[in-house]
Structure 1
């Protein structure tokens, strides 16, 4: 059975890259947040996207996303998020609204997170997208993440486009470091496979670096 699974995986990977394009790039991001009330947090982020490989090796700046999100704590480990994302691309501005519901489960040695999301893209028509992300986070030293300590974070996300009925899958392992009680940094990679329900025609590999600053 193990050999069958290995063979299937090799054949599947070969099929993916034989029938699709591949690109890679950088996704640096900074997120700042502060508490408006004990149960409401306001977070603002900016993320840049730059290709370093797209059919050939070259640097090509793609876009900038600016986000503004309000987070409302509904229970001890549950939150509702509402906000907007403004995408600056090729001299144009695209708008997106979003609603998230987050659930955090604190297990014995790790933290398990679920995010259910619904997004609206405003163009000539309104494009709708649903998202689900599961995240595992674990301290590398002890049972909890203390200041000046490293941690691992792994996420798996599924994005469904309602208008064209396509699925995108994302996998992202990250290494994080807590700089202080309020600030942390995470570095990792993110693999994206698009149009998963038909033929995987687009593969992307991004190097991520995200700085979280709490004011």
Structure 2
């Protein structure tokens, strides 16, 4: 019963927060739809690979609804489990922009999780180098996440689960002022037969939130993931 109320409170709080933020920031709001497809497969018992492709499309820009492609991302991660609840990973991504310089990105990651009850908590630390022809930006990220089943204490095939996270980011580059961003994500997913997972949700970003005019961004997220 306690877990039931915790889950409902978390979900309602997230919905109210997203609604409040989108209303307050609608004069400086950009909206995207971002579908993603990913494949995971194990190379060894403690070593695995992840490949993904994501496409970002404008839905709302300059106080008007629209639809056009912004970018296409190809990403690879190699992950090594160093303990039952800890892992390190290296990633590389190439981003094709529709109307600006393409980007090469390298990622170094450390992740730790713990699950005292039905809720699993995770802490992820990332360092990234975002490289374009004109600029290299170093980004440092911390994400706190949680996930739990929405029906009962254990997740069974076909039943929904919730994933939520909060992330803080610092970006630094030569001749540029440091930029601070925050991200809030809430998604509902289903684990299906054959190692398939489907997720849908929303993400809110406030970019450069210490500036006089921070940018508000809202994403509709849809994803499919296969584990081989």
**Higher mean C-alpha deviation, range 49-58 or range 139-148:** 139-148
> Could you say which residue in structure 2 is the equivalent of 1:205?
218
Matched, 1:43 2:50: yes
Which residues of 2 match residues 54-133 of structure 1 at below 5 A? Answer: 54-55=61-62, 56-90=64-98, 92-123=101-132, 124-133=134-143
Report the Cα offset of residue 109 of structure 1. Answer: 1.9
> Could you say which residue in structure 2 is the equivalent of 1:17?
25
- SS of match in other structure, 2:210: coil
- Normalised TM-score (structure 1): 0.88
Matched, 1:141 2:140: no
What is the CA deviation profile of residues 98-126 of structure 1, one whole-angstrom value per residue up to 9, with x for unaligned ones?
01101111121200011100000112332
- Normalised TM-score (structure 2): 0.84
Matched, 1:162 2:175: no
The question of whether the paired residues in 2 share the 8 Å contact of 1:40 and 1:70 is answered with: yes
Out of 165, 168, 176, the residue aligned to residue 189 of structure 2 is: 176
The question of whether the paired residues in 1 share the 8 Å contact of 2:60 and 2:66 is answered with: yes
How far apart, CA to CA, are the structure 2 residues paired with 1:14 and 1:186? 22
- SS of match in other structure, 1:51: strand
Aligned pairs, number = 204
How far apart, CA to CA, are the structure 1 residues paired with 2:213 and 2:51? 33
What is the CA deviation profile of residues 60-104 of structure 1, one whole-angstrom value per residue up to 9, with x for unaligned ones?
110011101100001001110101010011275310000110111
Report the Cα offset of residue 181 of structure 1. Answer: 6.2
What is the CA deviation profile of residues 36-77 of structure 1, one whole-angstrom value per residue up to 9, with x for unaligned ones?
111110000001000111011111110011101100001001
The question of whether the paired residues in 1 share the 8 Å contact of 2:22 and 2:29 is answered with: no
> Could you say which residue in structure 2 is the equivalent of 1:5?
none
Q: Which sections of structure 1, spanning at least 5 residues, go unmatched?
A: 1-8
The question of whether the paired residues in 2 share the 8 Å contact of 1:16 and 1:200 is answered with: no
- SS of match in other structure, 2:25: helix
The question of whether the paired residues in 1 share the 8 Å contact of 2:69 and 2:98 is answered with: no
What do you get for the CA RMSD once the two structures are aligned?
2.1
Matched, 1:193 2:203: no
Residues 14/98 of structure 1: CA separation in 2 closer, same or farther (3 Å cut): closer
- SS of match in other structure, 1:109: coil
- SS of match in other structure, 2:158: coil
Higher strand share: 1
